[in-house]
Structures are given as C-alpha cells and as structure tokens.
Amino acid sequence: MTTILIVEDEPAIVELLRVTLEAERYTVRETDSAETAWQMIAEAPPDLLLLDWMLPGQSGLALAKRLRQQTRTKALPIIMVTARAEEEDKVAGLETWVDDYITKPFSPRELKARIKAVLRRQTPEASDVPLQAGLLALDPVSHRVYCDGKLLTLGPLEFRLLHFFMARPERVFTRTQLLDTVWGDDADIEERTVDVLVRRLRQALATHRLDAMLETVRGSGYRWNPEKQNDITATV
Ligand code: CA
C-alpha cells in the first residue's frame, strides 16, 4: 500500500487531492501544517509527500529543506504544490529541494501522472507497477507473487524484500541497506537477521527453482539477478 501525506491548508484543495488519490487506491493522510507533518513523518514516513508551499506557520519549502537534511528523510519523494500568482518567479531553484512541483490549478490527470513518475523514479518498489523476472511476477497492488501463474506464498517481510530486489535488478546491497529497507533504519536488529530472511525467501523461491536469482555477493551482500532464471529453465 502506497501512503501519500498531503500538507495543505486550503480545504477545497485537500478535498480534490484526497478524492483523486483515493480513487487511485493510495492511502491518504493529511495535515494543514508543516509542524504537524514533521511529527507525522518522524512517526511513520509516507511513500510520498504532497506539499503546499504557502502554509500558515512554517512554509512548505522550509519543511522540504529540513527533510532533505535528515538521513532518514533525505530521499523522501516530495511534490511541491505552488500557487501561480505568488510563486511563479521563485520555482526556478525548487528542484534542489523537491522532486517535482505542480502549479494550481491542476488537473487530476496531471497530478496522477506526476505522482506515478516520481514514485517510479524514487522508490520503484513503492509504485503499483507490476514487476516481472522471467517466470516470476510480483503484483504490488494485491501483494501477490506468481511463478508461471501459480501463487507463491510469502510472509510480509519476504514479500517486502523480494519487492525491493525485483525493483532494483543487478545492484548489490549490503546487509545494512537491506535492514533499513525491510525493517526501517530505527530497528534494533542484527545483520544476521537479514541472512535468515534471505534464506527464507530463497526456500520459497526454490519450490519453483528460482532461488538462484537471489545471489550472494561474497564480502558485500546480495544481488537480484533475473538472468539466472534462464539457466534454470533451460535445464528443466
Ligand atoms: Ca496554502
């Protein structure tokens, strides 16, 4: 489930945003102040922030700058919502602090397209795009994984790990990076827990002879290699 936090003080805009996003099956949270948003993000980071520039109290831009300075939130996807009249001349340097911006008034279609583009770019596994690796298919909307059309039963952590890997093929991730991804960077968990989870995911994949795709990279960590499946299917 992809969660979007709306930070906006105009009720009519909030309503438009909420209706548009819920129709796309996003989970929507909302607040009208940057200060409350800061707390909400600290408690549970959303997958994307839709941030109004002009807010009572701290501005949306100030919040974006604060978020970019924190390790935990510096990669949080942010789309800034700006008002044409007041801010048109200032948006030039905005990309330093946010991933994209949209000017009021905007169409729901434009909004949806921009959200999808930012999510796909920033956090591939947060988007609703189905992923495929050979015979393996992962559907982020239904949280289901199929192998050659047959349902593969996975626990929630295994699903999250697989989703992360499938969205980033060919890249090596350390145990620490995987810990942050699957459990969150505040979790007090030992690195060897990652190995246990990887083993469980491999066991599930092995029932369909797909476990070779999840490679161990000696001294570094793990890598998702979708090409490995071809070797296996060729010998079946
Ligand atoms: Ca405003």
Q: How far apart are the first and last CA of the chain?
A: 36
Q: Which of 109, 126, 143 is the last residue of a domain?
A: 126
Encoded tokens for 26: 């996003």
How far does residue 101's CA lie from ligand 1's centre (Å)?
14
How far does residue 80's CA lie from ligand 1's centre (Å)?
11
Q: What is the mean pLDDT of residues 79-93?
A: 72
19 and 93 together in one domain: yes
195 and 119 together in one domain: no
How far does residue 71's CA lie from ligand 1's centre (Å)?
27
pLDDT tens digit sequence for 15-37: 999 999 999 989 999 999 999 99
How far does residue 85's CA lie from ligand 1's centre (Å)?
12
- Of 43, 6, 40, nearest to 21 (Cα)? 6
176 and 147 together in one domain: yes
Confidence of residue 223 (pLDDT cuts 50, 70, 90): very high
- Torsion angles phi and psi, residue 124, rounded to 5: -50, -35
pLDDT of residue 169: 82
How far does residue 97's CA lie from ligand 1's centre (Å)?
18
- Of 23, 187, 206, 17, nearest to 105 (Cα)? 17
- Which DSSP string do the residues of 167-213 spell out, in sequence order? HSTT-EE-HHHHHHHHH-TT----THHHHHHHHHHHHHHHTTT-GGG
In whole numbers, what is the pLDDT of the chain averaged over residues? Answer: 86
Contact criterion met (CB below 8 Å) for 51 and 4: no
26 and 120 together in one domain: yes
**pTM exceeds cut of 0.85:** no
184 and 229 together in one domain: yes
How far does residue 10's CA lie from ligand 1's centre (Å)?
6
pLDDT of residue 185: 57
CB atoms within 5 A of ion ligand 1 belong to 9, 52, 54
How far does residue 19's CA lie from ligand 1's centre (Å)?
18
159 and 108 together in one domain: no
CATH number of the domain bearing residue 202: 1.10.10.10
Contact criterion met (CB below 8 Å) for 202 and 212: no
Per the structure, the complete domain to which residue 209 belongs is given by: 131-235
- Of 193, 134, 190, nearest to 161 (Cα)? 193
The number of folded domains in the chain is 2
